[in-house]
Amino acid sequence: MIPDEVRSEVSQLRELLRYHNRLYYTENRIEITDGEYDALMRRLSEIESRWPELATEDSPTLRVGSKPLSSFPSLFWDPPMLSLDNVFSTEEFSEFDKRIRRELKLEKDPSYSVEPKLDGLAVALVYENGILVKAGTRGDGSEGEDITPNARTLRAIPLRLSGDPPPALVVRGEVIFRKADFQKMNRERKARGQELFINPRNAASGSLRQLDSRITASRPLSFIAYGTAMWPEGITSQHSLFDMLGKLGIPVNPYNSVCRGAEEVEKACHRLEENRDELSWEIDGVVIKLDEDSLQKRMGTLSRFPRWATARKFKAEEAVTKLIDIDVQVGRTGRLTPVARLEPVFVGGVTVSSATLHNEDELAKKDVRPGDTVIVRRAGDVIPEVVRSLGRSEGERRERFRFPRSCPVCNGPVAREEDTSAHRCMNPSCPAKIRESLFHWGCRDALDIEGLGRKLSEQLVDKGLVKDVSDLYRLTSHQLVFLDRMGDISANNLINELDKSRGTNLQRFITGLGIPGIGRTVSGLLSDRFRSLSEVMDASADDFLSIEGIGPVLADNLQRFFNEKITRNVVNRLLNAGFNPESSEVDDVEKPLQGLTVVFTGGISTPRPDARSMAEDAGGKVTESVSSKTDLVIVGPGAGSKLQKARELGIEIIDESEFLKRINRDGRILFEKRE
């Protein structure tokens, strides 16, 4: 029997700790010392240890951290956590404002929410009935990492909301370090002889993504909210949303303001830039949003960013130096990036000897050439970039740099992706990208080789066992058993999986080659048009263009891949390893989702790429958005605007369990999660 006075003390301690957290993180002031705060926490922990039944999922004692994880699970965001388009000058923002007034046919200046752009890590917090149940990173916008145990350790993040919260609320914001907290942490690390953190942003990202949440708990991270996934009922503006979040105990930026028209916005931006050094945390610009919900909805969003918001970036620190030469680096995905080699120059607090030139289009636009005097800045105060050329002080300028048509690492063909300025090496066996190529070859959409995950792919390359994709099919179980996390059973299973993959169909084989722009969908179009790989290899660009859904860029990429000596040899080596991919024969029995257009939304437990493959194997066509052409929507927890639209259009809605039953009669999950 727990005494009433003990229950009362626990309640008072929890409320007191929450009060002081809100005071510090939402009002930027303190009433007690760190020692006094720690004493309250120790007392609460002592009581909960003596009476474990008093421990609750929202107790402040959960902030000490828990046992390490082996990896982060995935979380899916709907609607996606979009990035922001940028403007860099008064003129560019003026154009943004004019477009809004023109498209919305506004007779008076709109109101804008002007918010300091925090330099941290974007996260989302999922609350149900006022209790924090999930937290995740932004990731690629649609899929992030589940960092719930780490988020629980942050004092700035309320485990239980105050007041009268809505039943479901997804709060989006930035995890950051306050300047004072960051400096104090570095002083303590220096005293212990530990390596110092270079800047708050990288330190915040690394601290929050620790597999051991006890490490996260030891670092004084903060959280500032900038919005929600969906507008709560009754909220009609950005500023009223911030008011509501503040009342719920969620930290919001005290420097946010509402401005009428472009002129007021410009003044607010200048004030923040002039006073940025006096703020409690680092900022690298200003976020400007239409304040009214109704206007935001009318402007809508693009695939990557909203049309009703933009980021006004502050002018970065710049310096002048000489460009010695231009190199091209090849990343792990095969992307080619031009890099300027510079005479070392001190800019933005560090010495810079190289800087990105981004891509071929930027290189041509800036007309930067070796031997030029150039202006260098640290973009976002982090990544060095060449701003522009000042020409050459003496003598003639050298010729323009020509972007390579062949990979500087393997001499394989280089292709430009459709609708982007990115160039990628097409050779799956390029040494720079072989690790990623092996992982892609074995993924669900491609050959679906169970056991060939990212870590094993890296080991195979690092140990020198695989230098070419076809080398996979010369591996022996004796070679594999000496690798980390591999025993006799795992080694034999992988050999069997590799042997089974030789019987793959044409669609999966082409997907596995990783040709830029040629994923599962386009590979399916090729499989529908051609009966065998030999027909694909002998096809012309015009043959590819005759297929609906394949444009000039993809047609050229395909024709070059199958005709260039290096990449054609990769395919031939795979054929010699026992492959003979052909188009799948059409089944007489109609597939369970045959002819249906399908959309997934919310946090289903099956990894999204696997679910997509399941639906397509069952005859469905998977799209990202809900429209009148959608036949079926599969929903999970946290489903948002897509679910709402499906209801409005009267589209059939089912959950994940029903989806699995429809595509597989005994309801088994067809795919297990991988490393």
297 catalytic per annotation: no
3-state DSSP percent of the chain in helix, strand and coil, to 5: 40, 20, 40
What is d(CA 635, CA 639) in angstroms, rounded to the nearest whole number?
6
Give strand ranges (E) for 390-493: 414-416, 423-425
Give just the sign of the alpha carbon dihedral 85, 87, 92, 98.
Answer: positive
**Catalytic-labelled residue, pool 67, 98, 117, 179:** 117
Report the run of H or E that residue 653 belongs to, with start and end: strand 652-655
- Paired tokens of 39: 């004493």
Query: Strand, helix or coil at 322?
Result: strand
Side-by-side strand order, sheet with 283-290: 86-87, 309-313, 283-290, 111-118, 257-260
CA angle 300, 637, 612 (to 5 degrees): 75
Cβ contacts of residue 428 below 8 Å, gap of 6+? 434, 437, 441, 469, 513, 514, 567, 570
- Paired tokens of 505: 């169909």
Interhelix angle 454-462/434-442, nearest 10 degrees:
140
Amino acid at the residue 302: L
Give strand ranges (E) for 331-482: 335-347, 350-356, 373-379, 383-389, 414-416, 423-425
What is d(CA 548, CA 551) in angstroms, rounded to the nearest whole number?
8
What is d(CA 285, CA 94) in angstroms, rounded to the nearest whole number?
16
What is d(CA 290, CA 280) in angstroms, rounded to the nearest whole number?
25
Asked if residues 312 and 286 have their Cβ atoms less than 8 Å apart, the reply is yes
DSSP letters spanning 201-240: HHHHHHHHT-SSHHHHHTS--EEEEEEESSPPTT--BHHH
Q: Which residues are catalytic?
A: 117
